[in-house]
């Protein structure tokens, strides 16, 4: 079987699947159960100094479901751990002692001054923990107190705190980034400038998932009032993948270790994050939805896929997708494709026809007996029909070979690569000529 062992900035684990800092990692009992189920590591739920952390005793989660009641996203209004600091430290010590082969990283959030950060680090280091994760991402509750995302949205603060921590501990320092920012590259660059060993992302997205139309309060509602919270789960995966890719391909942060987070539910999700440069992946919502043993499916699925693809270890495909992520202006404008409907698989539901006729390019025709055919002269290969079709592989996109004539434009398909920077329709290119 493929070797899933991971060495992330010197932190070793038997596989790349770590539980993210969240309710599943809030205490020793949970973490022991997680390790017995097969998780390679955990990031312990965020610790801090404040003895007055009080979490709500009403609903803490809002949810978004698919049509089949499958959980697509969670919004939480939970704060950092409300258990005493020393209790957490003692439990971390015991867990690391009994599971020396597993990664134990401790998430931290303290006031943004040097003495607070320097003060907590020796106590965490004494537990034997493998590293620390600086929580600069929490978008609710703690940000109102000048911590969490309030720090993560200011690159200068990120660099400053990272430098304090690197100067005060032997442990690797991972900076957890907030997605609630315009350009994720700037905080990543700041983390690197401050000497951080790695970044992890994404933290939760500031959100309100729904409004109760009986009480007119956001959900979750506490005594008739609601607040914005942090959104996570499968729905945030596309945002997370893009932000991971932006850091991985940025010349200023290229090569910086990344722990990928955001909607990872299956082995395939994890493989996609790794292909975009992640050295480990962190999971929360999937564990909260399906229980700790979901990691067994992730491990076996990743193992099987790697064996089938001939990847002996994670490094064989880590970052392989990064060179293929580019800006729009560099896409091949001479590439031409057309949709094709497999009549043997078609169930004549008409979704492709309705979508294309009403909202796209009127490129699908319907006969009197409900046979649907693509009109090549109108098809622009937008692949909307592929995405709305309920039958997998019923509609595919077929690339036209070089030398063929595109029936839509009448142009001969060129085998030469062209992009917008040199395209004759680009006024800037024409001006340059």
Tell me: the pLDDT tens digits for 316-360? 999 999 999 999 999 999 999 999 999 999 999 999 999 999 999
Residue 432's pLDDT is 47
Average pLDDT over residues 36-45: 98
pTM (2 d.p.) = 0.93
Examine the domain organization and report whether 124 and 236 are in the same domain. Answer: yes
Residue 141's pLDDT is 58
Examine the domain organization and report whether 262 and 355 are in the same domain. Answer: no
- Which domain CATH number covers 393? 3.30.70.20
Share of the chain above pLDDT 70, in %: 98
Q: Residues with catalytic annotation? A: 138
Examine the domain organization and report whether 402 and 270 are in the same domain. Answer: no
Weakest mean pLDDT among 43-47, 95-99, 140-144, 357-361: 140-144
Give the residue from 301, 324, 347 where a domain finishes: 324
Examine the domain organization and report whether 224 and 86 are in the same domain. Answer: yes
Query: Which distant-in-sequence residues (6+ apart) come within 8 Å of 34 by Cβ?
Result: 19, 24, 25, 42, 287, 292, 295
pLDDT-derived band at 138, boundaries 50, 70, 90 = confident
CA distance 393 to 422: 35
Examine the domain organization and report whether 319 and 365 are in the same domain. Answer: no
Examine the domain organization and report whether 299 and 361 are in the same domain. Answer: no
Examine the domain organization and report whether 314 and 169 are in the same domain. Answer: yes
Examine the domain organization and report whether 217 and 366 are in the same domain. Answer: no
As a whole number, the mean pLDDT across the chain is: 93
Give the residue from 266, 293, 324 where a domain finishes: 324
Examine the domain organization and report whether 396 and 306 are in the same domain. Answer: no
Residue 430's pLDDT is 55
Examine the domain organization and report whether 410 and 265 are in the same domain. Answer: no
Examine the domain organization and report whether 260 and 390 are in the same domain. Answer: no
Q: What's the domain range around 338?
A: 328-432
- Is 115 in a helix, a strand, or coil? helix
pLDDT at 408 over 60: yes
| C-alpha closest to that of 201 among 278, 314, 295, 148 | 278
- Which domain CATH number covers 41? 3.20.20.70
In a domain, 423, yes or no: yes
Give the residue from 324, 354, 386 where a domain finishes: 324
Examine the domain organization and report whether 211 and 168 are in the same domain. Answer: yes
In a domain, 1, yes or no: no
Q: How would you label 20-38 residue by residue, b for 16+ Cβ within 10 Å and e otherwise?
A: bbbbbbbbbebbeebbeeb
| Domain tally, the chain | 2
pLDDT in tens, 217-273: 998 888 888 888 889 999 999 999 999 999 999 999 999 999 999 999 999 999 999
In a domain, 307, yes or no: yes
């Amino acid at each position: 079987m493929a070797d899933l062992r991971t060495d992330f900035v010197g932190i070793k684990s038997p596989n790349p699947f770590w539980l993210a800092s969240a309710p599943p990692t809030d205490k020793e009992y949970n973490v022991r159960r997680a390790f017995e189920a097969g998780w390679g590591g955990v990031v312990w739920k965020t610790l801090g100094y404040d003895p007055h952390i009080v979490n709500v005793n009403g609903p803490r989660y809002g949810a978004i479901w698919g049509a089949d009641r499958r959980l697509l996203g969670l919004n939480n209004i939970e704060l950092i751990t409300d258990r005493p600091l020393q209790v957490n430290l003692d439990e971390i010590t015991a867990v690391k002692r009994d599971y020396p082969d597993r990664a134990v990283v401790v998430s931290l959030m303290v006031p943004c001054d040097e003495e607070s950060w320097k003060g907590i680090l020796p106590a965490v280091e004494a537990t034997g923990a493998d590293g620390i994760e600086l929580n600069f991402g929490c978008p609710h509750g703690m940000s109102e107190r000048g911590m969490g995302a309030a720090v993560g949205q200011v690159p200068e603060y990120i660099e400053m705190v990272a430098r304090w921590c690197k100067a005060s501990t032997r442990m690797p320092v991972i900076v957890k980034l907030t997605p609630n920012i315009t350009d994720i590259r700037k905080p990543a660059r700041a983390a690197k400038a401050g000497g951080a060993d790695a970044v992890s992302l994404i933290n939760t997205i500031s959100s309100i998932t729904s409004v109760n139309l009986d009480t007119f309060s956001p959900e979750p509602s506490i005594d008739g009032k609601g607040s914005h919270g942090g959104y996570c789960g499968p729905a945030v995966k596309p945002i997370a993948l893009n932000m991971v890719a932006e850091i991985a391909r940025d010349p200023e942060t290229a090569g910086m270790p990344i722990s990928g987070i955001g909607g990872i539910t299956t082995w395939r999700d994890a493989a996609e994050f790794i292909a975009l440069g992640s050295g480990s992946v962190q999971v929360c919502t999937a564990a909260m939805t399906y229980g700790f043993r979901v990691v067994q499916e992730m491990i076996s699925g990743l193992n099987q896929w790697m064996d089938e693809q001939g990847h002996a270890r994670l490094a064989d495909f880590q970052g392989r997708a990064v060179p293929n992520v580019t800006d729009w202006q560099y896409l091949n404008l001479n590439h031409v494709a057309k949709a094709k409907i497999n009549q043997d698989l078609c169930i004549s539901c008409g979704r492709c026809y309705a979508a294309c006729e009403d909202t796209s390019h009127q490129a699908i025709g319907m006969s009197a007996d409900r046979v649907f055919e693509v009109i090549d002269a109108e098809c622009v290969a937008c692949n909307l029909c592929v995405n709305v079709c309920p039958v997998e592989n019923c509609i595919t996109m077929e690339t036209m070979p070089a030398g063929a004539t595109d029936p839509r434009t009448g142009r001969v398909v060129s085998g030469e690569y062209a992009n917008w920077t040199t395209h004759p329709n680009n006024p800037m290119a024409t001006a340059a000529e």
